[in-house]
Amino acid sequence: MSMNFDQARFAMIEQQVRPWDVLDPRVLEALMVVHREDFVVPSQRQLAFADLPLPLAHGEVMMKPVVEGRMMQALLLEPSDEVLEIGTGSGFVTACLARLARAVTSIDIHADFIESAGQRLAHASVSNVRLETADALAWQPGRQFDAIAVTAAVGIIPQIFTDWLKPGGRLFVIHGLSPVQEAVRITRRADSLQTESLFETDVPYLHGAEPVPHFTL
């Protein structure tokens, strides 16, 4: 028996995402319009709307829908915004961000992720995304962004991420020690950074941003 993806998508939003306080209508619309099942490997299509992270190559994961929804809502995106996504992964969040903002730059250290995400985005007719294979910790964008979404955790939040924010810009990032990591929104004010705690979660670390182990005798 074939799966009704439209019904499963609606159930994901109404039974998972909305009850987790994702109420922004533009975010909910993006999750409804972008076909999540087209951004997973074929063997996982039946699990595309499950309340669990889906494995990708290289030990990475596609975050749970509730975490994706909370992340996009936290960015407070406007249609005129220019967004940086650190960690392209499957390209699903990239496609959602592209519906919410004017332009998206998405980078990933894994070239095969960039290639496959590019194919999926093209199939979904997403044209306002620029993809680049890059190590976020060594990358030099040469510009700032209205919002930055980091789709993997970091042990300590790199200063370069906040340096890439325009005044008023928002950064979503998950940091801390697994299995209890903290998702935060950092907003660049005129002369300071404002940090707001959002929720706890547990996701894999960004390559090179893992916590430094501490040894005790």
pLDDT of residue 217: 56
Residues contacting residue 110 through CB under 8 Å, at least 6 positions apart? 57, 58, 60, 133
Confidence of residue 190 (pLDDT cuts 50, 70, 90): confident
Residues 31-78: tens digit of each pLDDT:
999 999 999 988 999 999 999 999 999 999 999 999 999 999 999 999
Confidence of residue 6 (pLDDT cuts 50, 70, 90): very high
Confidence of residue 1 (pLDDT cuts 50, 70, 90): low
Confidence of residue 111 (pLDDT cuts 50, 70, 90): very high
Domains of the chain: 5-201 (3.40.50.150)
Residues 152-175: tens digit of each pLDDT:
999 999 999 999 999 999 999 999
Supply the pTM of this predicted model. Answer: 0.96
